[in-house]
Amino acid sequence: MTGDVDDSRPAFSGDASADGLIEQRVSGQQVYSGALLDVRRDRVRLPDGSEAVREYIVHPGAVLMIPQLDDGGLIVVRQFRYPQNRAFVEFPAGKLDAGESPLATAERELIEEAGYSARLWTRLGVVHPVISYSTEAIEIYAGRFLRHVGAKLDPGEFLDVIHSTEGDLYAAQDSGALSDAKSVAALSMLTRWLAAPRRSLLLRIEGVVQGVGYREWIRGIAGDARVCGWVRNRRDDSVELRIQGERAACDAVTDACVEGPRAARVTRVVVLPQTHDATLTQFDLRPTS
């Protein structure tokens, strides 16, 4: 056990003075540090002024990927989980390496575990699987426009790659065959996403997409689809697109962006859902940002 250590929890997002439930950290110790687990024991001051002990695990964070095939099928994996002494069906997932972004982790882990790369990535949200004793946050991404490149499993990693469907996975959930918390949550998030009647999206299109007429091309695509929003170049050589409208129309524009105009060479499209913006009433070209 080490002496007092820095606070490794996520930063508090809000006004602590206005929240009557906040527990103030007094001191903290690292109880154990292993290959995976970093166990902490903190003393905290409760809202009534008394003190208590909180034990928890510091986690680097993780990403879960929902690989979507062209025919609407989904890819899951089956692997043995030692603490539960059984094999589980789950979506591919992996923890963040130091300094790695969630999307970079998603791209790496999808290849390593399932053997696929994806050109279109949609962030569906984040889940906190064990809020009572871990800092872990899992980013959820759906990957489409897949290409099979072959799995590259880590040494000592063994799993089966399974082609499934949304209905199959709900049936597995009903029977108890699918009980992994992150995968249950991700399946629900995907279903909600697929069923949403409208979309409000921010897209980042990467690759050779400037100087090839991409903005004018996408303005024509957006006009035909009758979506509102705007498009602009970014100084990092990507194109940024904001669209809003009916689900089918927005999905059609998003899918078109993966290919782009003839002279473009799109390497990746990242989709970030947004809240509805009532000020978007037409489609505009905007200056470089």
Backbone angles phi, psi at 44, to 5 degrees: -130, 155
Q: Quote the pLDDT of residue 75.
A: 97
176 Cβ partners below 8 Å, 6+ apart? none
Distance, CA of 222 to CA of 228 (rounded, Å): 7
Last residue of a domain, one of 57, 74, 89: 57
**Claim to verify: residue 116 and residue 226 sit in the same structural domain:** no
Beta bridge partners of 86: 81
Please report which confidence band the pLDDT of residue 190 belongs to, taking 50, 70 and 90 as the band edges: very high
Q: Which two tokens stand for residue 119?
A: 């050109």
Please report which confidence band the pLDDT of residue 2 belongs to, taking 50, 70 and 90 as the band edges: low
What is the total count of domains within the chain?
3
**Number of Cβ atoms within 10 Å of the Cβ of 98:** 5
Q: Quote the pLDDT of residue 153.
A: 81
Last residue of a domain, one of 195, 220, 244: 195
Task: Please compute the mean of the pLDDT values over residues 145-173 and round it to a whole number.
Answer: 93
Q: Which two tokens stand for residue 246?
A: 């009916």
Distance, CA of 141 to CA of 270 (rounded, Å): 10
Is 189 part of a structural domain of the chain? yes
Is 7 part of a structural domain of the chain? no
**Claim to verify: residue 214 and residue 227 sit in the same structural domain:** yes
Is 1 part of a structural domain of the chain? no
Distance, CA of 54 to CA of 6 (rounded, Å): 15
Q: Quote the pLDDT of residue 16.
A: 74
**Claim to verify: residue 109 and residue 49 sit in the same structural domain:** no
**Claim to verify: residue 134 and residue 253 sit in the same structural domain:** no
Is 2 part of a structural domain of the chain? no
The CATH number linked to 121 is 3.90.79.10
Is 259 part of a structural domain of the chain? yes
Q: In what order do the strands lie in the sheet with 24-33?
A: 24-33, 38-45, 51-57
**Claim to verify: residue 131 and residue 209 sit in the same structural domain:** no
**Claim to verify: residue 191 and residue 68 sit in the same structural domain:** yes
Last residue of a domain, one of 160, 179, 195: 195
**Claim to verify: residue 180 and residue 74 sit in the same structural domain:** yes
Helix, strand or coil for residue 241?
strand
Task: Return the percentage of the chain with pLDDT > 90, whole number.
Answer: 90
236 Cβ partners below 8 Å, 6+ apart? none
Could you write out the DSSP letters of every residue in 4-26? B----SPPP-S-GGG-TT--EEE
For 100, the domain range is: 62-195
Is 11 part of a structural domain of the chain? no
Task: Please compute the mean of the pLDDT values over residues 93-113 and round it to a whole number.
Answer: 95
- Do 95 and 174 form a contact (C-beta atoms < 8 A)? no
Element (DSSP H or E) covering residue 259: helix 247-259
- Do 38 and 66 form a contact (C-beta atoms < 8 A)? no
Is 149 part of a structural domain of the chain? yes
Please report which confidence band the pLDDT of residue 126 belongs to, taking 50, 70 and 90 as the band edges: very high
The CATH number linked to 268 is 3.30.70.100
Instruction: Report the chain's mean pLDDT, rounded to a whole number.
Output: 95
State the catalytic residues: 215, 233
**Claim to verify: residue 92 and residue 68 sit in the same structural domain:** yes
**Claim to verify: residue 90 and residue 185 sit in the same structural domain:** yes
